[in-house]
Amino acid sequence: MRLIFKAVLLMILGATLAVAKPTIYILATGGTIAGSGSGSLDSSYTSGTVTVDKLIAAVPDINKIATIKGEQISNIGSQDMNNEVWLKLANRINELLNSGKADGIVVTHGTDTMEETAYFLNLVVKSDKPVVLVGAMRNSGSLSADGPLNLFNAVNVAISKDSVGKGVVVVMNDEIHAAREVTKTNTTGVDTFKSPNSGKIGTVFYGNVKYYMNPIRKHTASSAFDLTGVKELPRVDIIYSHANDNPDFVNVAVKNGAKGIVSAGLGNGNPYFSVLEALGEASKAGVVVVRDSRVGSGETTMNGEIDDAKYGFLTCDNLNAQKARVLLMLALTKTSDKAKIQEFFLTH
Ligand code: GLU
């Protein structure tokens, strides 16, 4: 009798373990993945009109591999992404991961600013658990919409043990990219996301996750940043360079209270001569100026064609300008010491 009782107990235990699936929270922010248009061949559509429940319902297979919970953080086109949503999203992710409620997070997001949100989270999420950003280039009603497979792949990346400790990643078009490296490179193509300095770190093919590289810059649990006590982020502007430029935007940025400026300079981070002088003045006035490039890949080298020590400038290493802006904002929440901020650029 006792033996039968034990056998039944073991069977119940086995069955329970067999169905114990990881819990993945899908935090929806909007974007084309949640967009809809008037027809399946219509390229005009509105971002952020489909709710998280509908997104999840479009990919029933994800319920077989994980316990899926959905939350709507915002429902906006990511061109309208802002500090308030970033802080809300990051705080919620930290709460879900550190309370043990979630084993991984998938954030659905518009593609326009996905790289910035990914890098922001990469610097402020305090957990080794997977955090995956995903979106779509074709809206949910479009012919060959890419959102459902991207979402299925993202959930598979979020439940993969191999994703632990990789930092925040972006999953699009069967590829896995590290948050620090990834950027949108094409306005409409489904293969828009690339990591120009380093390449993708993995692939995900119908849910089959494979990694080939590890991001080595500090991120998530090992990052110097956290949001404890942070209620707002300082203003940091990007000034884009061009031939026959003028210093007006630098002067307006300083006048309007920018605490930092990222110069998206020409080539190896060279601003037009009058812009260079205005940036030097800004730096003298206490604004932290980071030289970057509008080129889109490669390092902006210290003291390349510009005497950075003379002007008091920092350099971005090889971060693009929109990510340098994110890092500089977070750095300024901790310190105004330029040597320390430069160190952040060389380690994060
Ligand atoms: N502007 C939209 C956004 O970023 C469309 C881009 C997309 O999601 O693909 O939300």
The identity of residue 242, as a single letter, is H
Mapped to the 3 state alphabet, what secondary structure does 257-323 carry?
A: CCCEEEEEEECCCECCHHHHHHHHHHHHCCCEEEEEECCCCCCECCCCCCCHHHHCCEECECCCHHH
Residues with CB under 6 A from ligand 1: 30-32, 47, 77-79, 110-112, 135, 137
What confidence tens digit (pLDDT) does each residue in 65-92 have? Answer: 999 999 999 999 999 999 999 999 999 9
**Nearest partner of 140 among 26, 56, 47, 33, judged by Cα:** 33
Q: Is 301 a catalytic residue?
A: no
Q: Which of 16, 23, 29, 32 is catalytic?
A: 32
What confidence tens digit (pLDDT) does each residue in 104-142 have? Answer: 999 999 999 999 999 999 999 999 999 999 999 999 889
Residue 214 in tokens: 């590890």
Return the sign of the alpha-carbon dihedral for residues 178, 181, 187, 188: negative
Q: Given the CA of residue 48, which atom of ligand 1 is nearest to it?
A: 10
**Nearest partner of 260 among 346, 320, 328, judged by Cα:** 328
In the three-class reduction of DSSP (H, G, I as helix; E, B as strand; rest coil), residue 104 is classed as: strand
Query: Cβ neighbours of residue 34 under 8 Å, at least 6 residues apart?
Result: 28, 47, 48, 49, 50, 51, 52, 55, 75, 108, 140
What confidence tens digit (pLDDT) does each residue in 3-35 have? Answer: 565 655 556 555 555 568 999 999 999 988 887
Q: Given the CA of residue 113, which atom of ligand 1 is nearest to it?
A: 4
Instruction: Look up the pTM and report it.
Output: 0.94
Which pLDDT score is estimated for 218? 98
What's the mean per-residue pLDDT of the chain?
Answer: 94
Judge whether 184 and 193 are in contact, CB under 8 Å: yes
Q: C-alpha 326: how far from its chain's center?
A: 10
CA of 117 relative to ligand 1 center, distance in Å: 13
* Lowest model confidence (mean pLDDT) among 20-34, 39-53, 259-273: 39-53
